[in-house]
Amino acid sequence: MLRTSVNHRSPTKPASRLRKNWRGISLLAISLSVGLVIWETITHLFNIPPFILPAPEMVWNSFWLVAGNGTLLRHTLYTLLEVLAGLTLGVTLASVTGYFLAKFPTVEKLLSPYVVASQAIPIVAIAPLLIIWFGPGLVSKILICALIVFFPVLINTIVGLQSVPEDLHDLMRSLQATKRQTFWLLEVPASLPIFLGGLRVGATLAVIGAVVGEFVGADRGLGFLVNRARAEYDTALVFVAIFTLVVLALSMYGIVTLLERRLLAWRQRPEHEILIGS
């Protein structure tokens, strides 16, 4: 019998997992508190003007102001919309293209120069052109996000599909599996761990893509908020927008990690449950 599992972890008891989580949260809280104290001390000790480095309390006040009047939510939702739409488009295109590149070497030879060239072009250089071609609205921002997401997902799709062991393909053939069955029962689950690794990178890059687009030309979104705050020398608001972007990127990363845990739960199950045919 063949095993599909690569990494077998022993199941953790709920009580010890809870303890572990609490320990993690406590350490994070301590780390953040120490960071804030150092930040506050530096601003007061060296008498740093707020337009250079605002104290944490100023950033907090600014946060409450824009959170209370709805400004922050409005800009965050717009950036989130760009990120989700761009990520969906980028991942769809990259996984479909990746499949054909992995399965058909001739297609790979034909398209790989374009794929590699697309990565050599800095996104900040092409973003203004996309805005001219597709207008200053949502479409150009989604395309910028999709472009930045495309490459890591594409590469991981190709690597994932190509890393499926040949003996498993032999097994599927011996079982007279159709192409569709091979795809859904073998290729998708076997390449999923590597594909999701690419998605994790892509999800955080999508946030950067959205901000790049908003920096070039936008009238809403967190990138726009950073630009407007800088134009008004409101450094505390710049910090608020940056921290929100960080939270957004971390959330995207966290969602993909949760998805990964759920989709790859079979990797953590006891060996006898994941044996093919069991």
Which residues are near another protein by CB under 8 A? Answer: 49-52, 128, 131-132, 135-137, 216-219, 224, 227-228, 230-235
Output the smallest distance, CB 37 to another protein, in A. 24
Q: Closer to another protein at the Cβ: 129 or 255?
A: 129
For residues 66 and 55, give the distance between their C-alpha atoms in angstroms, rounded to a whole number.
17
Per the CB < 8 A criterion, the answer to whether 188 and 43 are in contact is: no
Residue 231: CB minimum distance to another protein, A: 4
Q: Which C-beta is closer to another protein: that of 86 or that of 217?
A: 217
State in angstroms the smallest separation of the CB of 118 from another protein: 21
Query: Six-digit token pair at 34?
Result: 């120490």
Pick the closer one to another protein by CB: 102 or 229. Answer: 229
Q: How far is the CB of 252 from another protein (least distance, A)?
A: 25
Question: Which residue's CB is nearer to another protein, number 101 or number 142?
Answer: 142
Question: 35 or 137, CB closer to another protein?
Answer: 137
Q: Closest separation between CB of residue 208 and another protein, Å?
A: 17
CA 217 → CA 85, 213, 227, distances in Å?
Answer: 18, 7, 10
> From CA 9, how far away is CA 120, in angstroms rounded?
40
Residue in this structure with the two tokens 């479409």, named with its chain if needed: 139
Residues 6+ apart with CB under 8 A from 100: 107
**Tokens of residue 193, six digits:** 């761990």
**Nearest CB to another protein, comparing residues 50 and 189:** 50
Residue 13's DSSP bridge partners are none
- 278's tokens: 């069991």
Nearest approach in angstroms of CB 123 to another protein is 14
Give residues with Cβ within 8 angstroms of 261, minimum separation 6.
none
